[in-house]
Structure 1
Amino acid sequence: MKLRKKIALAAVALVTAGLLSSCSPGGSAQQASSVSSFPKKWDKEITIDVFDGLANYMGMQDGWFGDMVKKKFNLKLNIIAPNVAGGGDTLYNTRVSAGNLGDLIITDKGQKLDELVKGGLVLDSTPYSQAMSHVNAFKTALTELNQGKKGIYAFPTSVSSLKPTQPSEGIDPTFGPFVRWDLYAKLGYPKLNTLEDLLPVLKKMQEAEPTAPNGKKTYAISLFKDWDGNMMVTAKQPTTFYGYDEMGFTLAKADGSDYQSLLDDKGQYFRALKFYQEANAMGLVDPESTTQNFDTMQAKVKNGQVLFSWWPWLGQAAYNTDANTQAGKGFELAPVKDLKVFSYGAPAYGGTQVLAIGSKAKDPERIAAFIDWLYSAEGAYSNNSQTMGAAGPQGLTWDKNSSGKPELTDFGKKAFLSGDADVPAEWGGGTYVKGASALNVTTVLPVDIDPATGYSYSYKGWPSYQDLTKTPLSEDWSAHMGGAVTTMDYLTSNKKLMVAPGASFTTPTDASEIQTLRNQLKAIIIQYSWQMSFAKDDAEFASLKKELQDKANGLGYDKVLKVDLANAKEQNAQRVKVAKELG
């Protein structure tokens, strides 16, 4: 759960009124002399507070990542995580009011960053910029982020040397219709022209394996509620198979060719709801869908109780264990003929989050050096999320072979293919997973290329990894997908991918009236979406749809839609611009 973008008015008033005068914009760095290079050694150990709006761990960073940071910078990281602490807004506002959010801050760009700069809570890092050679390799993103500010107050995340028209995700897109391929194969690989053609196939797959190994009944589809926002989240997912992504109550196509209201009579959102309604009528939907959360549903996928997934990081991550794939079982992308899967282009100007040095930071020069390291090859390998395929420290999880190409070490194979491994004492001890970076922020995209190897920072993109992980499942899928080695390979070579150029658009904060209306509207949209998904027949589905449309329109849906549509079109304008300039 992310922190809200708005700082409490009381905290803002204190900051902007100058009551936090000791934190005036620019802080102590304005008096610092410019440095052209950082020291090679830091003699005194210090501990810094890292206020991290993304972190899912609170406390001291230990394990192999903590060991690396300690050895390189004599620095220890105390992670302050509002997601873990509870009352995230309260913790944030209390620290803002006190004038010291943290020594290192990871937060959202846009309004939140602007308020912190205005309130004097972040440092102007200009004196250290000359020495930050790794950050400066992404000068375009750095300049854009700090445009309009009299200094360098923040550093962008998710930067890349890739063009913004290139996919940012690696070997798998974020979205896609993934099915239990072994059961699909058992049916003789039936043709799938559209999303709806999946239903009779899923029915036969469910009949082919009516119970999971744990003895529980299998269902083709299992839904969950706890991620619902402006809409029913699982109803949004099928729209991405056809190039759409959400912007409030609008669905916008990646290429800007179409914009739909969620409530359009023949739009993609109602198409997805109808898909679930028909699936439920066929007995394909888990009846516990209306009460369970994501974790419960994910556990069912892991246990083999679910046969369809909207994401590779659900079906494949949970079910495609070494034992299952060696037995030819697992999730793979279904070859639906009319797919145009939405893909996020590499963000030209970085992602939503930023890094900043606090205005009261202990040893800001050392923190600047640490930040710069996060953008180096060593930092990109070591800091980024394991779920995104970051290869970890060279010499521990991977190394170059005799041909100079990267490959996993025996330890790396165990850590990544078996799920975890015990780290040698000289690397910090503990387990690999628990010792990973708790910052939970991507500095350089794992799909970006390391100039020293010519391959990505993600081990999943290495030929050696592809050879290593060949299984009866992957080879059968490849043989029936034109020889494609990865999902992204299949989609790109068959022109079934639609990339939204990475323009890093920031959605403006809603005006108070729009925010109030949105909260009322999304509640009834979600309520009726679930009811429509479980409607007993076509007549009830149509009746519920009409009720939803009438109630939404009566509540001022058109006012909110107008805002969302304008935002979607502005986002596309920025995508067009960045594709023209940098694509």
Structure 2
Amino acid sequence: MKKNTLKKVLAMALAGMMALSVAACGQSSDTAAPEAASDSAEVKKDKVITLTIWNTEVTTPGIQDNDVARVIEEKLGIKMDIVQGDSQKFSVLVAGGDLPDIIYTNPAQQGVEANALITSGQLIAMDDLIDQYGENIKKNFPSRLDYSKKYVSNGEDKTYFLPVLCYTVDEENPDISYTIENVGLMTRWDVYAAIGYPEIQTTDDYLNVLKQMQDYARENDLAGGKEIYAISGWNDWGLWPWWLANVREMGWQDLSNGAIINKATEEVDLNYHTDAFWESLKFYNKAYNLGILDPEAFTMKNDQFWDKCNNGQVLMAYASWQTDNMNKTMASNGHPEWGFEKIPFSGYPYISGIVSGDAPLGNASDYATAITTNCEYPEKAMQLIDFCNSEEGARLLWSGVEGTHWEMKDGKAQPTESYQKLIKEDASYTTSTGITLYNKLCGFKETQILSDGSPANVLKSNEQKAQNILDIDKEYCEYYSEQRGEEFLYPGMVLNDMWQKEEVDTFTNYILYTSLVQAPSDETLNILAQCDQYMNVQGVKAIMVKDEAEFDAAREEAMTELNAMGFEKAREEILSLYEAAKTDASSFEIK
């Protein structure tokens, strides 16, 4: 890859700051593409070029050779070479000026803020490329471009990042999620059923039920001799397992830079300053003292957590994107009777995403697509990005190849019979074909209804959800059908019925201003990074204390130490930025 001297110097400066997970500061440099980029316009249509792409979800990095990748190569003349890694690898790539051609931003995973990538001179402003090659980008969810220029450009009014995974609600046909959508506590339904469906009202009730479930699972050796714990976790995402799902079920939504918002009151605060955060840690402290929290949770990696869940060693998980896959894996491994489901109870009254809500800016700055100055063929990179923001590209990325994985039938896009058969027989079949692997490049959320009347992911229509239900999901629906006197075709319909009858709550309101927050100062980012490093240790210590008195003391100690680091000063700046964003929201137009 070609690198100019200025970019190299700025990258090294940024890397030094990233040792403390601090975003680099300084005047933005001119980020024009390197000289070799001019050659890309002369690439012949029949010449296949290779683009390197950052993607942490692909388990087989390198040149992609699957059904989806082959269609992209044939249609666009582009081979995708996936670069994968953790925050440490991303830091090394930044330091050396060796970022792949296309990246997405995720500060939590990468340890670097979006603006820092701009100020280090490593990104191309995409405005001219979008004007020439971005017809689909300009047509679909155009508000993203206004947002990117104003809020994710380091004040330059240029398009460095393109938000992805946008969604517009179909009011006449709301999308009812298959279970929950995204993050929430999920429980092994088969074990819960085996102990007689005990009533759960409070979080203490839930913990006691998990203890009963653990005892039953161990007594009956459900994991074939392996140790079973009701709750486990992992340490390579910081404190993520120990607070995020819990605060969402208390009615809070996580935002950037450690902020969370109470979606009922629209009150914003930093997570460490809220009772909700500390109540979440206390939940796991109680679990630890009940003997139902896996001690290896504090040293394991995320993939080890998945392995334990798939092996039947863990009885609670944290998100539907975990359990949807785990349930299929357990079924294909000979245990269709195993599986995780959502057990509603009043102690945690909110359930994430019973129905999909509007997301005109997608994930905003999280996972937003960018082209780096290392890219020798920026025009080809933009052609790929624009294709992924078209309806044709969205259907390919989410549903696979027409005629092989989906087809038009009775006026609707539907999965082929062979595809439905294969995904039931092999839980890894979808990813082995490339389907859903490259979704972070897609402008459309998988449930977005396209112009042909079907969702981008043909498996996500309400009809297909009912048709492709797993055995464990049938048992869940049958139980609640008997309890409630209603017919439920898949688990999400149970939760939707409870929501409609005001027995549980969810959120459908789109709060615009939380996406319009300007980046905080480098001083504040530095403070927050140090606070996070401290809390990654102190939070675990709080979970492992022996009683409530020691927990309260650990909380008090933590807040004293955080304030000594400047936490309160950083908090004041973050809250002021959210207040300013409220004013901006009144004049920001969603197109």
What pairs up with 1:263-282 in 2 under 5 angstroms? 263=272, 267-282=275-290
Per mean C-alpha deviation after superposition, the further-off stretch among 535-544 and 443-452 is: 535-544
Determine the C-alpha separation between the residues in 1 that align with 2:561 and 2:546.
21
Structural mapping, 1:408-447, within 5 Å: 408-415=416-423, 418-421=426-429, 432-433=432-433, 440-447=440-447
Matched, 1:186 2:194: yes
CA positional deviation for 1:52 = 3.1
CA RMSD of aligned residues (A): 4.3
Residue from 508, 528, 537 that aligns with 1:527: 537
Name the counterpart of 2:236: 226
Change (3 A) 1:44 1:358: farther
In structure 1, distance between residues paired with 2:176 and 2:12: 35
Asked whether 1:451 is paired with 2:437, we answer no
Contact 1:28/1:360 (8 A) holds in 2: no
- Structure 1 match to 2:506: 497
C-alpha distance in 1 between matches for 2:236 and 2:200: 31
Paired residues of 1:177 and 1:311 also in contact (CA < 8 A) = yes
2:253 match: 245
Report deviation, 1:102.
6.5
Q: Equivalent of 2:169, from 137, 162, 171?
A: 162
Matched, 1:52 2:59: no
* Equivalent-residue separation in structure 1 for 2:316 and 2:292 (angstroms): 10
Name the counterpart of 2:145.
142
**1:36 equivalent in structure 2:** none
Contact 2:25 2:116 survives alignment (8 Å): no
The reply to whether residue 334 of structure 1 matches residue 348 of structure 2 is: no
- 1:66 is aligned, of 63, 66, 69, to 69
1:110-147 CA distances to partner (integer Å, 9 max, x unpaired)? Answer: 52575488986656125525x72465133232344345
Residues 239 and 245 in structure 1, CA contact (< 8 A), matched pair in contact too: yes
The Cα shift of 1:168 comes to 9.2
Q: For 1:225-261, what per-residue CA distance to the aligned partner results, in whole angstroms no more than 9, with x for missing partners? A: 2211xx5642232111112133445432124444455
SS where residue 339 of structure 1 aligns? coil
SS in 2 for 1:176: strand
Q: 1:112 to 1:497 in 2, by over 3 A?
A: same
- Which of residues 381, 389, 401 in structure 2 aligns to 1:375? 389
- Secondary structure of the structure 2 residue equivalent to 1:310: strand
Which residue of structure 1 lines up, in the alignment, with residue 4 of structure 2?
Answer: none
Residue 474 of structure 1 corresponds to: 474
Counterpart of 1:466, as a letter, is A
C-alpha change, 1:309 and 1:14, in structure 2 (3 Å) is closer
User: Aligned pair in 2 of structure 1 residues 176, 354: CA closer, same or farther (>3 Å)?
Assistant: closer
Instruction: Go from structure 1 to structure 2 and tell me whether the alpha carbon gap of 1:379 and 1:417 turns closer, same or farther (over 3 Å shift).
Output: farther
**Contact 1:47-1:76 within 8 A present in 2 as well:** yes
Q: Residue 498 of structure 1: SS of its match in structure 2?
A: coil
Q: 2:129 aligns with which of 125, 131, 136?
A: 125
User: Structure 1 CA distance, aligned partners of 2:583 and 2:491?
Assistant: 29
Distance 1:303 1:66 in 2: 31
CA distance in 2, matches of 1:467, 1:209: 31
Question: Which piece of structure 1 moves more, 477-486 or 214-223?
Answer: 477-486
| Distance across 2 between alignment mates of 1:199 and 1:469 | 29
> One-letter code of the match for 1:47?
I
**Code of the aligned partner of 2:359:** P
Listed as ranges, the gaps of 5+ residues in structure 2 are 1-9, 16-23, 107-112
Question: What is the rounded CA distance, in whole Å, between the counterparts of 2:159 and 2:533 in structure 1?
Answer: 41
Q: Is this contact kept in 1: 2:259–2:269, CA < 8 A?
A: yes
- Secondary structure of residue in 2 paired with 1:83: coil
Cα distance change of structure 1 residues 360 and 88 upon mapping to structure 2, 3 Å threshold: closer
Give, as a single letter, the amino acid of the residue that structure 2 aligns with 1:441. L
Structure 1 contact 157–444 (Cα < 8 Å) conserved: yes
Amino acid at match of 1:46: V
Map 1:254-269 to 2 at 5 A: 254-260=263-269, 262-263=271-272, 267-269=275-277
Q: Percent identity among equivalent residues?
A: 19
Per the alignment, in what secondary structure is the counterpart of residue 125 of structure 1?
Answer: helix
CA distance 1:76–1:396, shift in 2 (3 Å): same
Q: CA deviation at 1:55?
A: 6.8
Q: Could you tell me how far 1:393 is from its partner in structure 2?
A: 1.6
What's the secondary structure of 2:247's corresponding residue? helix
Alignment CA distance shift 1:477-1:134 (3 Å): same
What SS does structure 1 have at the residue aligned with 2:515? coil
3-state SS of paired residue (2:441): coil
Tell me how far apart the structure 1 counterparts of residues 477 and 443 of structure 2 sit (CA, whole Å).
33
- Per mean C-alpha deviation after superposition, the further-off stretch among 291-300 and 516-525 is 516-525
| TM-score, normalisation: structure 1 | 0.78
Between 1:82-91 and 1:397-406, the stretch displaced more is 82-91
Alignment deviations for residues 462-503 of structure 1 (CA, whole Å, 9 cap, x no partner): 413422325254343354165444554444441521246264
**1:77 — aligned with what?**
80
Which of 349, 370, 375 is the matching residue for 2:361?
349
CA contact (8 A) 1:261 1:267 kept: no
State the distance in 2 between where 1:507 and 1:58 align: 34
Question: C-alpha distance in 2, partners of 1:127/1:538?
Answer: 60
Deviation per residue, 1:18-42 (Å, 9 max, x gap): 6x87759xx869x99xxxxxxxx97
In structure 2, how many angstroms separate the alpha carbons of the residues matched to 1:197 and 1:465?
31
Partner-residue secondary structure (3-state), 1:245? strand
Deviation for aligned residue 1:370: 3.4
Q: Which of 559, 563, 567 lines up with 1:553 in the alignment?
A: 563
- Report the CA distance between 1:455 and its aligned residue: 3.7
2-structure distance, mates of 1:363, 1:119: 13
* Closer, same or farther: CA 513–436 of 1 in aligned 2, 3 Å: closer
Contact (CA 8 Å) 1:235, 1:269: kept in 2 or not? yes
Q: What secondary structure sits across from 2:467 in the alignment?
A: helix
Code of the residue aligned with 1:432 in structure 2: it is S
8 Å contact kept, 1:23–1:120: no
Cα distance in 1 for partners of 2:245, 2:558 equals 20
Report the Cα distance in structure 2 between the residues aligned to 1:75 and 1:299, rounded to whole angstroms: 34
Between the aligned partners of 2:315 and 2:583, the Cα distance in structure 1 is 39
Q: Deviations over 1:127-178 (max 9, x none)?
A: 525x7246513323234434587776664422333389x9999533112221
Instruction: Indicate which of 327, 331, 343 corresponds to 1:322.
Output: 331
Change (3 A) 1:550 1:85: closer
| 2:260 alignment partner, SS class | strand
SS at the partner of 1:298? helix
Q: Please say if residues 103 and 369 of structure 2, whose CA atoms lie closer than 8 Å, have aligned partners that are also in contact.
A: yes
Distance 1:502 1:484, change over 3 A: farther
What letter matches 1:174 in structure 2?
N
Q: 1:306 to 1:155 in 2, by over 3 A?
A: closer
CA 1:564–1:485: 2 relative to 1, 3 Å: farther
Does residue 391 in structure 1 map to residue 406 in structure 2? no
Is structure 2 residue 550 aligned with structure 1 residue 540? yes
Paired residue total:
541
The AA in structure 1 aligned to 2:132 is Y
Offset of residue 276 of structure 1: 1.6
Distance 1:249 1:72, change over 3 A: closer
Segment drifting more, 111-120 vs 243-252: 111-120
Give the AA of the match of 2:345. Answer: V
Find the counterpart in structure 2 of residue 307 from structure 1: 315
From the two aligned structures, give the one with the greater helix fraction.
Answer: 2
Aligned pair partner of 1:287 in 288, 295, 298: 295
**Is the CA contact (8 Å cut-off) linking 2:148 and 2:161 kept in structure 1?**
yes
